Amino acid sequence: MHQQHMDLHAPVDLNKSLDDMTPEERMRAEHQIMVEKHRGHDAMHSEMVMILFVTLVIAQIILVEWKKRHYSSYSFVTLLAMWLIPLIMSCTFGWMRFIVIWLIFTCITALVMRRAISKPIQGTTPRLVYKWFYFIYKLSYGLGIVGYLVIMAAFLGMNYIFSQPPNTWMDVGLMFCFYGLYIGVLGRDISEICSDKMAAAIGYYTPQGIPTRHLEQNVCAVCGNQLLVSEKEEGVIENTYKLSCNHVFHEFCIRGWCIVGKKQTCPYCKEKVDLQKMFRNPWEKPHVLYGRLLDWIRWLVAWQPLIFFIVQGINWMLGLE
């Protein structure tokens, strides 16, 4: 015996209250009320989609031109937006986990930044700063991988082995990916500011490209400390790297300068650094690609919410719902 399909468009007496209707009549009444409420909204929805598309295109053009013409102000506003917008959203919706992690990261990073911009700069400060941001970089990379593996495991159904619903594993995987990408982007931007301040304070590098001190032999231009081994020797703690311009640096310093601080130029003469030659280990090359991914995430987290907020404001002014 086949169940008869209910016709939601069948007439119903809307003068009756919902409590007096049968379940079938109540369902038809609610459906017809919803259809009447949204009648003629197709044109309005098309207009809203067009507003969103045009706003995205215009915003992208403005951001590209702003970044090209005034990179310093663009970077500062982007960093400020990345730092504050997620916090404001978390406070609005009561996401305590993010607020706690944000406070811990902000407090430690503020102490490190204070050491980086203080004058006179201490000899151990550059390595301390790079160690912190290199740790943040590794942490973000690891969180991203863990999140990806958890999501893939959920797709393969491995969650059922542990009697867990798939949506729980997906939520955990997305959470790990978000924290990894968010902390990674913030770490890269702040480390770039710190690397500029420290190198300029040491004197071997200035944003204008004119060093205020002469680089002596066996001295690292990033941290200003002596090089313990030559580039041809194997170091106990770290090796020494020589760039194509023949300037030599501590391994950890030049890694922090090129990867963590997004500086793909020599800290002393500003010649472009070939990262593919510098990192010969194939396992290290994905770190460079991951850095490019973080650059894309920056736009998604910092500017996308602002663009959607502007679109909502335009729709509100035009009376679109």
55: which 2 tokens?
């706003």
263: which 2 tokens?
């500086």
pLDDT band, residue 264 (cuts 50/70/90): low
Q: What is the mean pLDDT of the chain?
A: 76
Residues 6+ apart with CB under 8 A from 241: 231, 248, 249, 250, 251, 254, 278
CA nearest to 138, candidates 82, 184, 190, 178: 184
Mean pLDDT, residues 46-58 taken together: 83
Q: Which residue has the tokens 């710190």?
A: 194
Q: What is the pLDDT of residue 147?
A: 92
Q: What is the rounded CA–CA span in Å between residue 258 and residue 267?
A: 9
204: which 2 tokens?
């071997």
Mean pLDDT, residues 221-246 taken together: 71
Q: Which residue has the tokens 């201490």?
A: 122
Mean pLDDT check: name the lowest of 35-44, 228-237, 242-251, 281-290: 281-290
CA nearest to 265, candidates 186, 202, 201, 204: 204
| Start-to-end Cα distance in the chain | 45
Q: What is the pLDDT of residue 55?
A: 86
Residues 6+ apart with CB under 8 A from 252: 127, 130, 131, 134, 238
% of residues, the chain, pLDDT over 70? 68
Domains, the chain? 1-38 (no CATH), 41-201+282-317 (no CATH), 203-278 (3.30.40.10)
Kind and range of the H or E run holding 79: helix 71-93
Residue pair 268/211 in contact by the 8 Å Cβ criterion: yes
Q: How far is CA 182 from CA 27, 29, 98, 212, 293, in A?
A: 45, 47, 11, 36, 11
Backbone φ and ψ for 250, nearest 5 degrees, come out as -60, 140
pLDDT band, residue 2 (cuts 50/70/90): very low
Residue pair 259/287 in contact by the 8 Å Cβ criterion: yes
% of residues, the chain, pLDDT over 90? 10
279: which 2 tokens?
């990192």
Q: With a cut of 90, say whether residue 176 has pLDDT above it.
A: yes
Q: With a cut of 60, say whether residue 35 has pLDDT above it.
A: yes
Q: What is the pLDDT of residue 13?
A: 63
Residue pair 268/215 in contact by the 8 Å Cβ criterion: yes
pLDDT band, residue 189 (cuts 50/70/90): confident
Q: What is the pLDDT of residue 210?
A: 53
